[in-house]
Amino acid sequence: MKPKILVVDDEPEAVELLEFNLKQAGYAVTTAGDGAEALKKARSQVPDLIVLDVMLPEMDGFEICKSLRLDPTTVKVPVIMLTAKAAEIDRVLGLELGADDYLTKPFSPRELLLRIKKILARGQSEEKVKDQLRYGDLLIDVPRHIASWKGKTIELTATEFRLLTVLAQRAGRVQSRDHLLRDVWEYDSLIDTRTVDTHMRRLREKLGAASQHLDTVRGVGYRFVE
């Protein structure tokens, strides 16, 4: 039995690309171009997972996600959201919407496949939304917006905190400067990529010994190591 995946995006090209990749990977794929169609298909076919673009005409991804959660038939179907702005991530993953994961555009098909695999693998078992990340003596408490090292609070600005959080959440995987700009700043931010370097420096300064977790991968980007 192939797992069924519903792809919702208004751009035909994007849909086609995703469809191809997912089918290649052995999934059964259905698609929808707008909110109404998406809800209809979600209800009638009940896919095992939904890939949902946020930027849609008329009914946006947030609305769709809410509707899915309100409908008994689809309440449990995992959702991966595309194109969330950094500032919206909390909302996307939070209780209000309850998406299971998100990706910022543009992303590689491989990346998406990994996330899908991970979510489907955990099956019916519920996974708690982590609001505390701990790596050795470094503790990141997202809802409290506090980072600490050996119990001692580290004063971080909003941007620094977000940068650290994004890196830590993707621990082990290298994040390119572009990728970080999308996730930590805004999707369409016109900010210079070198600005990331500056913030990394400030972050390292403040982290002190804890900055050992922050690797530079020359020619690629930065990585959080455990």
Partner DNA sequence: GATTTTCGTCACGGAATCGTCACATTTTTG
Partner DNA sequence: CAAAAATGTGACGATTCCGTGACGAAAATC
- Region binding a second copy by CB under 8 A among candidate stretches 35-43, 54-62, 68-76, 197-205: 68-76
Pick the closer one to a second copy by CB: 46 or 75.
75
Q: Which candidate, 85, 129, 115, 102, places its Cα nearest to that of 21? A: 115
66 binds a second copy (CB under 8 A): yes
Pick the closer one to DNA by CB: 42 or 164.
164
179-208 residues in contact with DNA (CB under 7 A) are: 185, 190-192, 194-195, 197-202, 204
Cβ at position 131, least distance to a second copy in Å: 9
Q: Omega of the bond prior to 109 within 30 degrees of 0, cis?
A: no
116-175 residues in contact with DNA (CB under 7 A) are: 155, 157-160
134-193 residues in contact with a second copy (CB under 8 A) are: 143-145, 157-159, 172-174
Pick the closer one to DNA by CB: 138 or 200.
200
The 3-state secondary structure of the chain, one letter per residue: CCCEEEEECCCHHHHHHHHHHHHHCCCEEEEECCHHHHHHHHHHHCCCEEEEECCCCCCCHHHHHHHHHHCCCCCCCCEEEECCCHHHHHHHHCCCCCCCEEECCCCCHHHHHHHHHHHHHCCCCCCCCCCEEEECCEEEECCCCEEEECCEEECCCHHHHHHHHHHHHCCCCCEEHHHHHHHHCCCCCCCCCHHHHHHHHHHHHHHHHHHHHEEEECCCEEEECC
d(CA 106, CA 85): 12
Pick the closer one to a second copy by CB: 24 or 198.
24
Pick the closer one to DNA by CB: 128 or 218.
218
Tokens encoding 23 = 């089918």
69 binds a second copy (CB under 8 A): yes
Cβ at position 47, least distance to DNA in Å: 37
Cβ at position 127, least distance to a second copy in Å: 12
Tokens encoding 93 = 């993953």
Pick the closer one to DNA by CB: 87 or 129.
87
Q: Which residues bind a second copy (CB under 8 A)?
A: 16-17, 20-21, 24, 66, 69-70, 72, 75-76, 95-98, 108-111, 114, 143-145, 157-159, 172-174, 217-220, 223
Q: Which residues bind DNA (CB under 7 A)?
A: 155, 157-160, 185, 190-192, 194-195, 197-202, 204, 216-221
